[in-house]
Structure 1
Amino acid sequence: MSKDVLTAANIELNATPAGKEEAIRNTGEILVANGYVDKEYIDKMLEREEQKTTYMGNFLAILHGTDNAKQYVHATGIAITVVPEGIDFGEGNTAKVIFGIAGENDEHLDLLANIAIVCSDPKTIDHILTAESKQDIIDLFSEVE
């Protein structure tokens, strides 16, 4: 993953959102604050979550907008919210590492592939949850190309 896609500004450690909606909004705000998407993209992320959960297993959720959210994307970007206590994503699923992604064209597929590669090992999720710095997380992803 290129260094300009994942920076310290894109990561929130030790987050304590009150629930799933707040976790989604907070992660979306990171994408907005860093210029990847317009604020309307957050509504599309919430809409996507209503259609089908973005919980992927292994304490991981990968948030993204609906198919008609492309108009709100300015650049490919990623946000990571780390919630050590976890958030209920429904049906007994607890997410502790929440990714928000936005991609121009089909670049979101590359982001998904990188996330899948890095997070396929449960030890990696543990590493993210216990990261002492944002740089620790950046380093995990910088090893993947």
Structure 2
Amino acid sequence: MQTTLLTKENILLQQESTSWQEAIKKAAQPLLRNGNVTKQYVEAMIQSVLDAGPYIVLMPGFALAHARSEDGVCRLGLSAMTLNTPISFGSPNDPVKVIFCLAAIDPTSHLELMGELAEVLARDSIIDRLANVETPEAFIQLLEETRS
């Protein structure tokens, strides 16, 4: 995995959220802090779900929050968050335990990362395993090991 994008500083573990909107905002905090995205981008991620439904819940327990690059992406970035109490997005794949936030600078810059992520997430029980790690280092290590 492109671990230069998903650093330990960009991983939030065992968080609590009362709604999917709050969960997206929390998961995006590392990207905001690092200057990858603007506040407008975070709001655009939420608005895209309000407009199009919970399409970001790609598989049981996993959501990939994102919006268009012109909505406030400053540079390519990725963050991840696990939830103590899974959240419902209104999807058949609910409840969500792991949320990634993707900030892509254009429609193609993130395709390699998406391919790697899809390969890893297709593994049995990976979402449950990611949801239960105790350190950001263990989160990254699990992604790397699963990819091998």
* Secondary structure, counterpart of 1:85 in structure 2: strand
Unaligned runs of 5+ in 2: none
Q: Say whether residues 1:116 and 2:118 are aligned partners.
A: yes
Amino acid at match of 2:130: I
User: Structure 1 residues 48 and 70 mapped into 2: Cα distance closer, same or farther (>3 Å)?
Assistant: same
Rounded Cα–Cα distance in structure 2 between residues aligned with 1:102 and 1:12:
17
Unaligned runs of 5+ in 1: none
Q: Deviations over 1:64-87 (max 9, x none)?
A: 01x3x4251121111111013200
Rounded Cα–Cα distance in structure 2 between residues aligned with 1:11 and 1:78:
9
Q: May I ask how many residue pairs the two structures share in their alignment?
A: 143
* Secondary structure, counterpart of 1:14 in structure 2: strand
**TM-score, scaled relative to structure 2:** 0.87
Rounded Cα–Cα distance in structure 2 between residues aligned with 1:83 and 1:129:
7
Identity %: 27
Which residue is 1:100 aligned to?
Answer: 101
Q: CA deviation at 1:136?
A: 1.1
Rounded Cα–Cα distance in structure 2 between residues aligned with 1:34 and 1:2:
17
Question: Please, what is the CA RMSD of the aligned residues?
Answer: 1.8
Q: How does 1:1-145 map to 2 (within 5 A)?
A: 1-50=1-50, 51-53=52-54, 54-65=56-67, 67=68, 69-70=69-70, 72-91=72-91, 93-105=94-106, 106-142=108-144, 144=147
User: Structure 1 residues 45 and 71 mapped into 2: Cα distance closer, same or farther (>3 Å)?
Assistant: closer
Checking the alignment, whether the CA contact within 8 Å between 2:40 and 2:71 is kept in structure 1 is no
Checking the alignment, whether the CA contact within 8 Å between 1:29 and 1:39 is kept in structure 2 is no
Checking the alignment, whether the CA contact within 8 Å between 2:44 and 2:71 is kept in structure 1 is no
